[in-house]
Structures are given as structure tokens and as C-alpha cells.
Amino acid sequence: MGNVVVVGTQWGDEGKGKVVDLLASSADIVVRFQGGNNAGHTLVVNGEKTICHLIPSGILHEDKKCLIGNGVVVDPAVLLEEMNDLEKRGISVTPERLSLSEKAHIVMPYHKAIDLAREAAKGSGKLGTTGRGIGPCYEDKVARTGIRAVDLLEPDTLEAKIRTNLKEKNFYLEKFLKAEPLEFQPIYEKYSSMAEILAPFIADVSQEIDQAIKDGKTILFEGAQGTHLDVDHGTYPFVTSSNPISGTVCTGAGVGPDKLHHVVGIVKAYTTRVGAGPFPTELLDETGDYIQERGAEFGATTGRRRRCGWLDLVVVRDSVRLNGLTSLSITKLDVLTGLERVKVCVGYELDGRRIESRPASLKKLARCKPLYEDLPGWKEDISSAKAVKDLPPQARNYLKVIEERTAVPFSLVSVGPGREETIKLKDPFETS
């Protein structure tokens, strides 16, 4: 047994939530280590849908502990709402089941206001953020002006920090972004009352993980967003403000790299993207619409229609390298059912030369032409397949092409949103 990291290999929404919920049955603890409530992770259990934005996707397993690491930015109002929604459905979220790192940074109303006002000011040049204040919150963390969960426990610290920050933020909002300023008192009161409810959950998550490992427990680390939204390695500036790659577990949860044994990359059988930014294999035709409709590709956080395109193995191979992937989990293979032909991008042509990795320059990327392998599609319903041999030969061939071109073995193939709609090939915990 070993500890497992799950990351997205594309531009997010690969189906990380489904896979984490599934793998959580073999773990003792599930940990989020970056991102915030820009994430929307969907779990479908016994036909019932749950969307986790901040709470780790292991929460539906009653005997598992869920931890929110220091690398996550936390909007306390969203966290409390998520906890209440789960409670209403009979899933108890007590401090025995959930801890929030005392070092996690807190999303404040001015972060959201700045995020929204900046996007509005950019007009057609906007990034298409989720508008949840994620970028501005990470900016404050790096600027060393952020408010951490531990500050919520000290009323005088909280008060001083909100006052100081508001002066600067209001100047920026009013004078530069031409937006409304925010008042101190309602923010302070709201955050103080939320702090009281959250206080018992605030803990030293790094130490909790360390102790659990010493006690022989198994940890599952749940990534948010996707590798190509990574602020360093993604399609900058059309990225999020954190590092969704596997290495972030160390900084975002407070564990050493020797504690990570297996890294599962989630690959959607095609590609989607929400928000603006380059997308070489995007389909702006009826095939794109077919995938969008069959895959119900609407954002789990903002409800926006997701852009759809063919599977891009340049993108996936970059993810293999950046994350050190030890296995791939393919999701939504069922969505491709019914297509006459399915294409897979296996390289790019840039100015007459073949390249195997995505260039950093957006101008160069815009000149890249995807090189496709054109494969036969399948018509059969595959959602009840329990083994690869149950799949039609064309679907098996599709998987073979992915496995050969990435040189990474599959741990599972998902053929529907439900927990049971899964072909299990290898338990990542057992192979590590």
C-alpha cells in the first residue's frame, strides 16, 4: 500500500471527483492541496449527484477523514454552505470528519469584487475566470498580506488585517477598476460569526497527515483544475492561479515527496475547456456539439457551456512528464459512442516541422496544426461494460492507441458517471 495523488491532465473537469470518490474506498484520508471553489467535482452515487467545491470528494464515505490543506484558498461562506447541504442529506460533517488547515488562505469579499471587476474591465480580452476571487486571494498570499484560517481565531488580528487590506483594495476598486468600495463592518461581522462555527475544524493538517502515515494509514490526495491550467506550466495567462500538478502536494498539504507513491492522471476521452484560451483540437462543428450534448458538458461550478474537441495526446504527454504519472484513468469513453470516426491528436505541426510538446508562446501555439490519427468509431452502448473485453473492438483500439502513445498503463476506464460504471484495471494503492 502507498499514498496516491490524483490530478487532471487537461484543462480541468476530467472526472477527478468520480475517480477520487471511487478510490477513496481504499484510503483512510482524502486531502485537497490546491485551488479553491473554482473547482466543481461531481460524484454520482446510487443515482444521486453531489458536487464538491471545497470539501474533498471522499466525504460520502462515512469512515473517511477529509482534510483541506494549506495550499487551498477557502471561501468560508462556500465551505459552510457545502457542509450544511451535506448535513441536510444526512452526511455528518463534524471535526472528526473534516479539518481545515490553519495555514490555508481565506477568500475575502474584496477578492471576489476584484476578480469580477477586472474581468468586466477586460471586456472581450477576459480570461473567463470563475469569478470566485481565487486569483486575487493567491496574489495576497504571495504579497504576504493574506488572511489565513488561523487569523480567524484571533479577532484582533482579523480586524487589523481586514482594515489594512480594505484601504488598499478599496483604492484599487474605486480608482482603477471603477467599482464599488466595500465596507469594513459587515465583512468583519460576517467573518467573525463564520469563524466561530469553523473554529473546531481549524487544525494543523500537515501534522495530522504525518501522524496518520506513522499510524499506517493510507492517504489519497485530490487535485483540482488540470495540468494545462497550471500557473507555471499551463497556457499562461489563460490559467488558474495555483499549481494543479502533483508536486504541489508537498507544498499544499505539507508532506515530503517520499510520501507520494503513485500518481494517477485523469484523462477525459476527449478534451474540454471552460473559459478563454488556446485549444488546438477544439471542434466548432456538429461533432463538437454532439460531444457537448452527449457529455452534458456544462461547468459544475459556473454552469457555463464547455468548449469541446478531440483528445489531444500532446497535452496528455506533457502531463505525464510534469506530474510523473504512474497510471492513467480514462473517463467518459461512453460519450464518444455513436461517432462514425474518432480522431486523436498525436503531435503538432509548427511552421512545417513536427513537434511533440506544447510550445510556451501563445503565438506559436496558435500556428500549431494538430496531427491526427483517424480511428473507427463504435455504435454499441458501453455503459455496462465491466471489463475491457466487454468493449467493442474499435473502443479497445482507441484505448490501445492512447496507452501506446503515452506509454503509461491504465488504472481504470470510466464508462458512465456512476460509481459502478467503471472498468477497474489496477488498484493504484495496491500496485504502489
> Least distance (Å) from ligand GDP to the CB of residue 40?
5
The per-residue DSSP string of 229-271 comes to G-TTTSSTTSS-SS--STTHHIIIII--GGG--EEEEEEESSE
Residue 13 is a binding residue for Mg ion (CB under 5 A): yes
Which member of 28, 41, 105, 230 is catalytic?
A: 41
- Window 272 to 301, contacts with ligand IMO (CB under 6 A): 274-275, 300
Total interface residues for ligand IMO by CB under 6 A: 24
Active site residue 105: no
Q: Residue 15 binds which entry of ligand GDP, Mg ion, ligand IMO, none, with Cβ cut-offs from 5 to 8 Å by kind?
A: ligand GDP
Q: Residue 69 binds which entry of ligand GDP, Mg ion, ligand IMO, none, with Cβ cut-offs from 5 to 8 Å by kind?
A: none
Angle at 159 between CA 155 and CA 160, to 5 degrees: 120
For cell 446510487, the residue is 46
**Do the beta carbons of residue 185 and residue 200 sit within 8 Å?**
no
Interface pick for Mg ion out of 68, 300, 311, 333 (rule CB under 5 A):
300
Q: Phi and psi of 282, rounded to 5°?
A: -60, 140
Q: Where are the beta strands (DSSP E) in 307-384?
A: 307-309, 311-312, 327-331, 341-350, 353-355, 369-376
Length of the chain: 432
Rank residues 13 and 115 by Cβ distance to Mg ion and give the closer one. 13
* Per-residue mark of binding to ligand IMO, 190-229 (x: CB under 6 A): ----------------------------------xxx--x
Which stretch in 5-13, 74-82, 93-101, 390-398 sits in contact with ligand IMO by CB under 6 A?
Answer: 5-13
The H or E element that residue 37 is part of is none
Residue 6 is a binding residue for Mg ion (CB under 5 A): no
Q: Residue 408 binds which entry of ligand IMO, Mg ion, ligand GDP, none, with Cβ cut-offs from 5 to 8 Å by kind?
A: none
For cell 508562446, the residue is 361
Rank residues 121 and 387 by Cβ distance to ligand IMO and give the closer one. 121
Which stretch in 34-42, 43-51, 290-298, 384-392 sits in contact with ligand IMO by CB under 6 A?
Answer: 34-42
Total interface residues for Mg ion by CB under 5 A: 3
Residue 71 is a binding residue for ligand IMO (CB under 6 A): no
Interface pick for ligand IMO out of 43, 134, 137, 336 (rule CB under 6 A):
134
Give the residue from 40, 97, 38, 42 showing the smallest Cα distance to 73.
38
Which stretch in 129-137, 251-259, 321-329, 357-365 sits in contact with ligand IMO by CB under 6 A?
Answer: 129-137
**Do the beta carbons of residue 19 and residue 331 sit within 8 Å?**
yes
**Do the beta carbons of residue 3 and residue 312 sit within 8 Å?**
no
Rank residues 229 and 328 by Cβ distance to Mg ion and give the closer one. 229
Rank residues 57 and 406 by Cβ distance to ligand GDP and give the closer one. 57
Which positions lie near ligand GDP, rule CB under 6 A?
8, 12-18, 40-42, 44, 300, 331-332, 334-335, 414-417
Q: Distance (Å, rounded) from C-alpha 101 to C-alpha 70? A: 5
* Per-residue mark of binding to ligand IMO, 10-29 (x: CB under 6 A): --xx----------------
Phi-psi map region of 112: left, alpha, beta (phi>0 left; psi -120 to 50 alpha): alpha
| Beta-sheet pairing, 41-45 with 48-52 | antiparallel
Residue 136 is a binding residue for ligand IMO (CB under 6 A): no
Active site residue 204: no
Phi-psi map region of 230: left, alpha, beta (phi>0 left; psi -120 to 50 alpha): beta
* Per-residue mark of binding to ligand IMO, 250-269 (x: CB under 6 A): --------------------
Rank residues 39 and 158 by Cβ distance to Mg ion and give the closer one. 39
Q: Distance (Å, rounded) from C-alpha 207 to C-alpha 211? A: 6
Q: Residue 347 binds which entry of ligand GDP, Mg ion, ligand IMO, none, with Cβ cut-offs from 5 to 8 Å by kind?
A: none
Sign of the Cα pseudo-torsion (357, 318, 8, 223, in order): negative
- Window 336 to 395, contacts with ligand IMO (CB under 6 A): none
> Least distance (Å) from ligand IMO to the CB of residue 146?
16
Residue 124 burial class via C-beta count within 10 angstroms: exposed 0-12, middle 13-18, buried 19 and up: exposed
115 Cβ partners below 8 Å, 6+ apart?
A: 129, 131, 132, 133, 134, 135, 136
Rank residues 3 and 240 by Cβ distance to ligand IMO and give the closer one. 240
| Beta-sheet pairing, 48-52 with 307-309 | unpaired
Give the residue from 92, 218, 73, 66 showing the smallest Cα distance to 137.
73
Q: Which residues are catalytic?
A: 13, 41
Contact residues toward Mg ion (CB under 5 A) are 13, 40, 300
Contact residues toward ligand IMO (CB under 6 A) are 8, 12-13, 35, 38-41, 127-130, 132, 134-135, 224-226, 229, 240-241, 274-275, 300
